[in-house]
Amino acid sequence: MEASTQAFHGEQITQRPAFVLTDAIGDEAVFSGLGRVAPLAATPDAMLMLADTAGFASFAAHCGAPPKA
């Protein structure tokens, strides 16, 4: 819990409510100060699309993992 709280504060988001969603391949979506639920509700569906994750896994299997930032 402490690590995720520190990561959240590291985003330096100044508006609340705020949400940070991260998928299995490290893509991140940050929402802050939302007035409507539709964008927030649609994002997990898009991030969970297996095509992106499968494509990333296939690329990594053939070419190796991407370099660390």
Query: If pLDDT is split at 50, 70 and 90, which confidence band does 51 have?
Result: low
Q: How many domains does the chain have?
A: 1
Taking the model in full, what pTM does it have?
Answer: 0.61
In the prediction, which pLDDT does 16 show? Answer: 83
**What gap in Å lies between CA 46 and CA 44, rounded to an integer?**
5
**pLDDT per residue as tens digits for the range 17-50:** 888 888 877 888 888 887 788 888 888 877 777 6
Whether residue 49 lies inside any domain: the answer is: yes
**pLDDT per residue as tens digits for the range 2-16:** 888 888 888 888 888
In the prediction, which pLDDT does 50 show? Answer: 66
Whether residue 68 lies inside any domain: the answer is: no
Domain of 29 in residue numbering reads as 2-63
Question: Are the C-beta atoms of residues 14 and 32 closer than 8 Å to each other?
Answer: yes
Listed in order, strand segments (DSSP E) in 3-68 are 18-22, 28-32
